[in-house]
A and B are shown apart, each in its own frame.
Chain A
Amino acid sequence: MEAVHRRRGAAAPRLIRILPLLLTLLGGCGGSEEPETAAPAPAFWFVDIAVQAGVTAPTWCGRPEKPHLLESNGTGLALVDVDADGVLDLYLVNGWRLEGAEVVERGRNVLYRGRGDGTFEDVTARAGIGDDGWGSGIAAGDGDGDGDVDLFVTNFGPDVLYLNRGDGTFDRAPDPPGIDGWSAGAALFDADRDGDLDLFVAGYVECTLEEVLHAEPTLDWEGMKVMLGPFGLEGEANRYFVNEGGGHFREATEESGLVDVGLFYSFAVAAIDFDADLDLDLYVANDSNPNYLYRNDGQGHFQEIGLWSGAALSADGAAQAGMGIATGDVDLDGRVDLFVTNFAHDTSTLYVNEGGCLFTDATLDSNLRAATYLPLSWGATLGDFDHDGRLDLFVANGHIYPQAERVPDAAGGYGQRNLLFHGEDGRFTEVGAGSGPGLAVQLSSRGVAAGDIDSDGDLDLVVSNVDAPPTLLRNDTVPRGAWLAVDAPGALRVEVRLGGTRLVRHAVHGGSFLSVSDARFHFGLGPVEEIDELVVVWSDGERTRQAAVGVNQLVRVTRR
């Protein structure tokens, strides 16, 4: 176990991090970006620094009027350290721009190299990673087993596997796995516990470019004609590929049991050990259909148990429109819970894990019902943004119909405000409106990824927006405690023990909406100066333990 470096934390907050508090105490004497003059400090403070950070590339998705469902999809992004310099880089997946029935721009994916101070440099050309397919989502992981991070990009069209040369430059795999159609979420994960990463790719809808180019809005909605779908369109089948080494994959959908039995419209996927039996299970959020939960038998064979697990439907038995997934232990019982985002005028759903792959819809009890009802929600992430020891929740929102601008509701129109919930013992309070100018942005957002882009120890957020550059939300929240980040590649979960409290973070492959967050395990710890014990749990059940670990640092743990 190795302390990589210490960074600023609770003991030495930057001026900018306490600025909101100072402004509040001074009675709001600043400019337009200070918080309201209410006495208590805002729980969070996020500022959109995309332009000053140099992250300005727009991500396209069809025409402004969106006559085809594909144009509502948006694109994902990834916060991942591709050049192994210890600093997070940002990869944006890009779609195409259309005018009428013409393709006017094949948007290229963009790789921004992080400088570690919250600014980025476009290195796409140098890295050789600017695919110009109609992009959808992204998965990250060491696909060829050479110790670095490779990127798998899902497209409307053939998918792409970029193999890292080890220095942040890439070769295109000549015969990549994937779906030659509309693929959405994907996850690289060790399904069969043989030490390499296998691949699951979600398929959404079967359609052709010709159909997209010549689509007309035909569905009646609020007295207007809008895009058709997904009902009325054929689902694209999900596919699974087993890793055969060296970046080569073989399709094994049937033999693994990861069959798309309903040909549902699948979006986000998350591989995670839901039942704590040391293998990775797989959850798939399905639009307008029950969600899938595939339980792993430990050998890479899966049984689909969604409907009886309690994680496929809402509490009243309804199939919802699953879009994105966030995972984390929200009630501090050590088990990983599931938050699934859904369509507008329906709640997102929090499934609390009761153990043994059994879940209960706790949306109402957790106070998530009202705030999530109106918006159309996509990417989501659970993270401790204020270091109080409790997981908070960020949800990206945006409508699919541009026509929603003509019938706005409290959530907005086509552009909607993203939501930020403060978490406390399994209950959440939406505080986004008072949490800084970054949370006031109203665009049609889709993917979200969390990670520390400015090396100050807290979790920042990057959000993809349809037909606009991303929002880069620097976290300037006054921390309520210390933090710890643990880099433990291959670990299933990491536990921190503080007195009688146990905080658990679970490895997740995939999640959010078409996006990838930093894979390191991040803890907010509350006001402590030392951790009693750090425990890293590996997939064979072995544990690496370290007592009396200092806080406000990144610790690297490797398997001996």
Chain B
Amino acid sequence: MKTKLLAIGALVGALGLVAVPQETPKAMSATYGALADSILALKRTETSFVLALLEGHFQAARSHYEGGMGEMAAAEMALFASEGDNSIAGVRKRLLEGGHHHHADDEAKGVYEPGFVVVTKAAKEGALQASAAMRRAKTDAEREAAWKQFTAVAEPLLRG
């Protein structure tokens, strides 16, 4: 019985009665391509979102600094450094648990902390130091120095 079936299969194949697929159907690769556009667009959207979030903290910090409210400025600078507060850190944790790393390679190299999108590890440290300096500043000159330290870190990130 088994031998008979094999012989029939060979015959059918030789006569080309069944089309053996040589490539993935075009429609499927086109759909996957469109899906890739969406996936990559989502990643770009994530970058845009985080940049908007950072811009908000940056402008708030600037406003507080220019208004002479050093402690409030320092707080916004710290939130810039951390790409948002602990509620954002919670979202980041969810993404990481789901396997999404925005900069997987650079995380492995130590450039970014896990899940961070825009602020590098070095920039985070610099912005936090500037925030601490702003908080401790007792004179206008010290506040100005802290602000310069912060903008030197933050502005290149915001420019992308």
Q: Which residues of A contact B (CB under 8 A)?
A: 231-232, 234-235, 261-264, 289-290, 292, 304-310, 312-313, 315-319, 354, 356, 358, 360
CB <8 Å contact, B89 and A232: no
CB <8 Å contact, B90 and A313: no
- B71 beta carbon closer than 8 Å to chain A: yes
Q: Which residues of A contact B91 (CB under 8 A)?
A: 262
Ordered by A's residue number, 11 sampled pairs between the chains whose C-beta atoms are within 8 Å are A261-B87, A263-B90, A264-B93, A289-B89, A307-B78, A308-B75, A310-B131, A310-B135, A317-B82, A317-B121, A358-B74
Q: Which residues of B contact A (CB under 8 A)?
A: 71, 74-76, 78-79, 81-82, 85-87, 89-91, 93-94, 96-97, 113, 121, 124-125, 128, 131-132, 135-136
CB <8 Å contact, A308 and B89: no
Q: Which residues of B contact A263 (CB under 8 A)?
A: 90, 93-94
CB <8 Å contact, A358 and B93: no
Complex: A304 Cα to B91 Cα, angstroms? 15
Q: Which residues of B contact A315 (CB under 8 A)?
A: 128
Query: Separation in Å of the B133 CB from the closest CB of chain A?
Result: 11
Q: Which of A231, A308, A317 contacts B79 (CB 8 A)?
A: A308
Q: Which residues of A contact B94 (CB under 8 A)?
A: 263
Closest 4 pairs (CB-CB, A-B): A262-B90, A308-B75, A261-B87, A308-B78
CB <8 Å contact, A307 and B132: no
Task: Determine which residue in B71, B76, B131 has the highest number of CB atoms from chain A within 10 A of its CB, and name it.
Answer: B71
Complex: A449 Cα to B154 Cα, angstroms? 45
Complex: A307 Cα to B80 Cα, angstroms? 10
Nearest CB in chain B to that of A304: its residue: B86
Complex: A323 Cα to B92 Cα, angstroms? 21
Query: Separation in Å of the B58 CB from the closest CB of chain A?
Result: 14
Query: Separation in Å of the B100 CB from the closest CB of chain A?
Result: 14
Query: Given the interface contacts A261-B90, A360-B132, does A307 sit within 8 Å of B85 by beta carbon?
Result: yes
CB <8 Å contact, A264 and B90: yes
Q: Which residues of A contact B93 (CB under 8 A)?
A: 235, 262-264, 289
Q: Which residues of B contact A310 (CB under 8 A)?
A: 78, 131-132, 135
Q: Which residues of B contact A234 (CB under 8 A)?
A: 97
CB <8 Å contact, B90 and A307: no
Q: Which residues of B contact A264 (CB under 8 A)?
A: 86, 89-90, 93
Q: Which residues of B contact A290 (CB under 8 A)?
A: 82, 86, 89
Nearest CB in chain B to that of A306: its residue: B86
Q: Which residues of A contact B74 (CB under 8 A)?
A: 308, 358
Q: Which residues of A contact B113 (CB under 8 A)?
A: 317-318
Complex: A178 Cα to B136 Cα, angstroms? 40
CB <8 Å contact, B79 and A307: yes
Complex: A232 Cα to B99 Cα, angstroms? 10
Query: Given the interface contacts A290-B82, A307-B82, does A262 sit within 8 Å of B132 by beta carbon?
Result: no
Q: Which residues of B contact A307 (CB under 8 A)?
A: 78-79, 82, 85-86, 89
Q: Which residues of B contact A319 (CB under 8 A)?
A: 89
Q: Which residues of B contact A306 (CB under 8 A)?
A: 85-86
Query: Given the interface contacts A263-B93, A290-B89, A317-B81, does A308 sit within 8 Å of B125 by beta carbon?
Result: no
Q: Which residues of A contact B85 (CB under 8 A)?
A: 261, 304, 306-308
Complex: A262 Cα to B92 Cα, angstroms? 9
Query: Separation in Å of the B65 CB from the closest CB of chain A?
Result: 14
